[in-house]
Amino acid sequence: MATGGYRNGVQKPPNLRTSSSFKSKLPPSNTRRSTPASLAADSGRVRVAVRLRPRNAEELVADADFADCVELQPELKRLKLRKNNWDSDTYEFDEVLTEFASQKRVYEVVAKPVVESVLDGYNGTVMAYGQTGTGKTYTLGRLGDEDTSARGIMVRSMEDILANISPETDSISVSYLQLYMETIQDLLNPANDNISIVEDQKTGDVSLPGATVLEIRDQQSFVELLRLGEAHRIAANTKLNTESSRSHALLMVHVKRSVSGRDDEYPLETQNRSNLVGNLRPPMLRKGKLIVVDLAGSERIHKSGSEGHMLEEAKSINLSLSALGKCINALAENSSHVPVRDSKLTRLLKDSFGGTSRTSLVVTIGPSPRHRAETASTILFGQRAMKVENMLKIKEEFDYKSLSKRLEIEIDKLIAENERQQKVYENEIERIRLEAQKRVAEAERNYVEILEEEKMKCQMDYMESIKKLEEKWTANQQKHAINGEVQRGAVNEEVAELKTMLQNETRLRKAAEEEIQNLKTQLLQFSKMELAGGSTDDLSLPEVLGEESRQKKKLEEEVKVLRSQLAQLSIEANQARSYSDSGNSGNALLGLDCFTPLNHLRPRDGSNGERASITNLHEQVGLQKILSLLESEDANVRIHAVKVVANLAAEEANQEKIVEAGGLTSLLMLLRRYEDETIRRIAAGAIANLAMNESNQELIMAQGGICLLAMTAADAEDPQTLRMVAGAIANLCGNDKLQTRLRSEGGIKALLGMVRCRHPDVLSQVARGIANFAKCESRASSQGTREGRSLLIEDGALPWIVQNANNEASLIRRHVELALCHLAQHEVNAKDMISGGALWELVRISRDCSREDIRALARRTLTSSSTFQAEMRRLRIEV
């Protein structure tokens, strides 16, 4: 039925643009991003193509003499419907598909744009309308088993969809249904034969929750599904005693696609938000639904050949179809009421016409003039449908599920990372803390050390200046005293004169005493000689003289023998010297190298050979004879003899014999009598060695040895002589019993006198003597056997001691340090020591001395003396 009024004119929908191609009128898939997805909408008129079936075998025969009822002008997209031989109505469609149109071309112009929209997230509908037998199923449902070029729109659509989705993120699911007599049956599960339509109250979306939904993974399974659906359809229709042409078939394809990544895929609002919160954009989920509808035949009932009860059925079949026509009419005329709810079909296709779907309709017609009326009705249906405007709307939503899943994974990762970082951070903090602690401790230590050093230095400086002040003060005191003395000068001069006179007297008396002693000795010798000569009272003087001269000759002979032996000894000694190494020969006559008692006197070039010779000699000649040679007139003989005796005295075993034989007396006599320095040196050395023995020490003392040693000490110039003398006195100083006498006979003064010789060997012996003396005194004091100030201090040793407390030579320093410590152990000495400046030295020793034991001794001594303590407090010195 053509709408009148356009006779010989083009029947044109008012808003149809004739020139636009079917395809070009589709909304471009990338021009809809200016508004949020949910609002995205586009105008989308229902597109309609007309397809003409070729004449079938029957028509070729039956209509052989008649022309087709339609004439197609595909290039003009026009169809002319013949009314009679001279008159026709012309209709314009979006696409006009001739009987030669291939299935591929039909798919591309009718369905492909819809499929593309579905892939973009729109709903899409492809529907075939037309009289039974005009090719609806051919167009939509051919599987193309034998001939792939015959594949219909369903198969090709799925091919396209599968080719354009990614199986990892996207999914396709399918339902296949049949609507017959207002009943929806599930073609995928025939038991499901009354599926109800559910409508979402808010959105108005319809769905079929009861329908089977199958996931599609590949084309093969889809084709199988279609085949299965078709089989079920035939079975169902046989059961219902009807034909498939009377039922509507609906294929529903749900395509879910996930869109992520590209910013321009997102609505602007989402982009802005995303920029603020970082990559928290949920992926977009696009849900397109494609519905392919193969409608029941549109022919009128009388033509379908239905009779009787079938009439009702036909009405019921066409209820849905006529409802669809009514809806489309209403939509085409912009009627306010669209009776969508009148049938199940219109409810199911609510979105396809007048909704948001992109919809393509293909109307199929046959060429036979016998069906002209049905063909015209089909064409008019298509023409009306072309006027239906849909508002395309993208079905897009945020995929919060997958976002939350992604975020959960992200959060878990971050938690783990955070925990790891936290641990690293804690470790780092701990490391820094320890490092800082270490550095602080180190700095503190350094600081304390520096402070201590600084303090020490300050104290020493302080001590130095106090010391100087004290010295100045003492000097001033002395000056004052001298001044006082000048005033008393006259009286003193008188006293001095008296003193000199007294001294002269004393000297005279001493000289007389010496003379008497001399005479006594001579007398003794004379009587000895008389006894040795077997003196008898009846021997006459001439006989005695003769005897004397014989004795003398004999002695001279012996002397000669001895000389030659001594010469021999000298040679041997030289040989021995060159034989032995320098370390051995380097020994001094007295090995006074430490603070232990004096070593044995050694021959200067001492060797076992020489000593053996000397032993031999003394055995051969007899000790007595050797000793007598000490008094020989001949100086050479005396020197050799004293050397021999000294060598013998170096051996402890000989010492007693020597003393018993009167050797000590002879040696002392040599000191007394002879001016010769060499003899005195060797004699002193021998005496020093003999003085190692305690009983010898007493003998030396008893025989006035100290006086003689003191005399020698006063006269001698040779440092070695002084060394021997000092060594001998030092040994005597170590005897507790001899302390007082030693001092009263001038021993200490003699020692101190020798410091005029600055030779370190001498000083070392002096220091040793002082240390020995101080030690004995200290011992006696602590035993309570002596009282009062140290005799050393009395005799004025303190200044020298203080001066040499820090002597460069370590041996001297050691002795002096010990002497100071011993002196300091007695409170009676403390005052003198303080005024003499010894306290400074003691403090220094307690701090600086390299020997730990001496350092400790000094410290102990200082802390145990209350006088020192008080002084140190006064001077603000700490030990």
Residue 180 near which of ligand ADP, Mg ion, none (CB within 5-8 Å, type-dependent): none
C-beta of residue 396 within 8 angstroms of C-beta of residue 121 = yes
Residue 282 near which of ligand ADP, Mg ion, none (CB within 5-8 Å, type-dependent): none
Q: Does 124 bind ligand ADP (CB under 6 A)?
A: no
- Binding ligand ADP (rule: CB under 6 A), the pick from 27, 113, 124, 130 is 130
Judged by beta carbon, residue 137 or residue 666, the one nearer ligand ADP is 137
Cβ-proximal residues to 399 (8 Å cutoff; 6+ apart), any chain = 258, 282, 283, 284, 285
Contact region with ligand ADP (CB under 6 A), list: 36-44, 132-140, 701-709, 749-757: 132-140
506 annotated to bind ligand: no
C-alpha span between 242 and 236 (Å, rounded): 9
CB of 105 to ligand ADP, least distance (A): 11
Residue 210 near which of Mg ion, ligand ADP, none (CB within 5-8 Å, type-dependent): none
575 annotated to bind ligand: no
Residue 135 near which of Mg ion, ligand ADP, none (CB within 5-8 Å, type-dependent): ligand ADP
CB of 278 to Mg ion, least distance (A): 56
169 annotated to bind ligand: no
C-alpha span between 36 and 267 (Å, rounded): 5
Residue 13 near which of Mg ion, ligand ADP, none (CB within 5-8 Å, type-dependent): none
Judged by beta carbon, residue 137 or residue 655, the one nearer ligand ADP is 137
Nearest-CB residue for ligand ADP: 135
Q: Does 304 bind ligand ADP (CB under 6 A)?
A: no
Q: Does 375 bind ligand ADP (CB under 6 A)?
A: no
- Binding ligand ADP (rule: CB under 6 A), the pick from 88, 90, 117, 137 is 137
CB of 368 to ligand ADP, least distance (A): 12
User: Count of H helices and E strands in the chain?
Assistant: 34, 18
Q: How many CB atoms lie within 10 A of CB 642?
A: 28
Tell me the CA end-to-end span of the chain in Å, nearest whole number: 135
CB of 206 to ligand ADP, least distance (A): 25
Site string for Mg ion, 255-294 (x = CB under 5 A): ----------------------------------------
Residues 779, 782, 785, 786, CA torsion sign: positive
Residues between 188 and 247 that touch ligand ADP (CB under 6 A): 245
Residue 304 near which of ligand ADP, Mg ion, none (CB within 5-8 Å, type-dependent): none
Residues between 502 and 541 that touch ligand ADP (CB under 6 A): none
Q: Does 318 bind ligand ADP (CB under 6 A)?
A: no
Q: Does 367 bind ligand ADP (CB under 6 A)?
A: no
C-beta of residue 682 within 8 angstroms of C-beta of residue 721 = no
136 annotated to bind ligand: yes
C-alpha span between 341 and 34 (Å, rounded): 35
Contact region with ligand ADP (CB under 6 A), list: 136-144, 153-161, 210-218, 646-654: 136-144
CB of 11 to Mg ion, least distance (A): 27
Nearest-CB residue for Mg ion: 137
Q: Does 137 bind Mg ion (CB under 5 A)?
A: yes
135 annotated to bind ligand: yes
C-beta of residue 185 within 8 angstroms of C-beta of residue 193 = yes
CB of 104 to ligand ADP, least distance (A): 13
Residue 739 near which of ligand ADP, Mg ion, none (CB within 5-8 Å, type-dependent): none
Q: Does 151 bind ligand ADP (CB under 6 A)?
A: no
Q: Does 131 bind Mg ion (CB under 5 A)?
A: no
Contact region with ligand ADP (CB under 6 A), list: 130-138, 233-241, 708-716, 776-784: 130-138
Supply the DSSP string of 259-313, one letter for each residue. Answer: E-S-GGGS-HHHHHHHHHHSS-PPPEEEEEEEEEEEPPP---HHHHT--THHHHH
624 annotated to bind ligand: no
Per-residue burial over 487-518, b = 16 or more CB atoms within 10 Å of its CB, e = otherwise = eeeeeeeeeeeeeeeeeeeeeeeeeeeeeeee
Judged by beta carbon, residue 294 or residue 396, the one nearer ligand ADP is 294
C-beta of residue 791 within 8 angstroms of C-beta of residue 777 = yes
| Count of alpha carbons within 13 angstroms of residue 486, beta-carbon side | 5
Q: Does 697 bind ligand ADP (CB under 6 A)?
A: no
Contact region with ligand ADP (CB under 6 A), list: 135-143, 561-569, 612-620, 851-859: 135-143
- Side chain identity at residue 278, one-letter code: G
Q: How many CB atoms lie within 10 A of CB 361?
A: 27
Judged by beta carbon, residue 136 or residue 232, the one nearer ligand ADP is 136
β-strands 88-92, 10-11: how paired?
A: parallel
Q: Does 132 bind ligand ADP (CB under 6 A)?
A: yes
List phi, psi (to 5°) of 487: -65, -35
C-alpha span between 388 and 331 (Å, rounded): 6
CB of 211 to ligand ADP, least distance (A): 23
Cβ-proximal residues to 303 (8 Å cutoff; 6+ apart), any chain = 371, 374
Contact region with Mg ion (CB under 5 A), list: 133-141, 690-698, 706-714, 796-804: 133-141
Q: Does 53 bind ligand ADP (CB under 6 A)?
A: yes
C-beta of residue 830 within 8 angstroms of C-beta of residue 838 = no
Q: Does 135 bind ligand ADP (CB under 6 A)?
A: yes
**Of 828, 832, 827, 879, nearest in space to 857 by CA:** 879
C-alpha span between 262 and 11 (Å, rounded): 46
Judged by beta carbon, residue 56 or residue 585, the one nearer ligand ADP is 56
Judged by beta carbon, residue 11 or residue 244, the one nearer ligand ADP is 244
- Side chain identity at residue 609, one-letter code: G
- Binding ligand ADP (rule: CB under 6 A), the pick from 107, 129, 138, 222 is 138
Q: Does 136 bind ligand ADP (CB under 6 A)?
A: yes
Total residues contacting ligand ADP by CB under 6 A comes to 14
Residue 867 sits at the vertex; the CA angle it makes with 862 and 873, to the nearest 5 degrees, is 80
- Binding ligand ADP (rule: CB under 6 A), the pick from 36, 54, 369, 662 is 54
C-alpha span between 772 and 735 (Å, rounded): 8
133 annotated to bind ligand: yes
Contact region with Mg ion (CB under 5 A), list: 132-140, 400-408, 472-480, 645-653: 132-140
Q: Phi-psi category of 129—alpha, beta or left, where left has phi over 0 and alpha has psi -120 to 50?
A: beta
Long-range interactions of 315-324: CB distance < 8 A, separation 24+: 316/181, 316/182, 317/180, 317/181, 317/246, 317/247, 319/182, 319/343, 320/179, 320/182, 320/248, 320/296, 320/344, 320/345, 320/346, 321/248, 321/295, 321/296, 321/345, 324/295, 324/349, 324/353
Contact region with Mg ion (CB under 5 A), list: 131-139, 683-691, 714-722, 774-782: 131-139
Residue 86 sits at the vertex; the CA angle it makes with 81 and 88, to the nearest 5 degrees, is 20
Residue 352 near which of Mg ion, ligand ADP, none (CB within 5-8 Å, type-dependent): none
Residue 727 near which of ligand ADP, Mg ion, none (CB within 5-8 Å, type-dependent): none
Q: How many CB atoms lie within 10 A of CB 781?
A: 19
Q: What is the dihedral of CA 535, 537, 541, 543, to 10 degrees?
A: -50
Contact region with ligand ADP (CB under 6 A), list: 52-60, 697-705, 732-740, 784-792: 52-60
270 annotated to bind ligand: no
Residues near ligand ADP, by CB under 6 A: 53-54, 56, 130, 132-138, 245, 297, 364
- Binding residues for ATP, as ranges, are 130-137
Residues near Mg ion, by CB under 5 A: 136-137
- Binding residues, as ranges, are 130-137
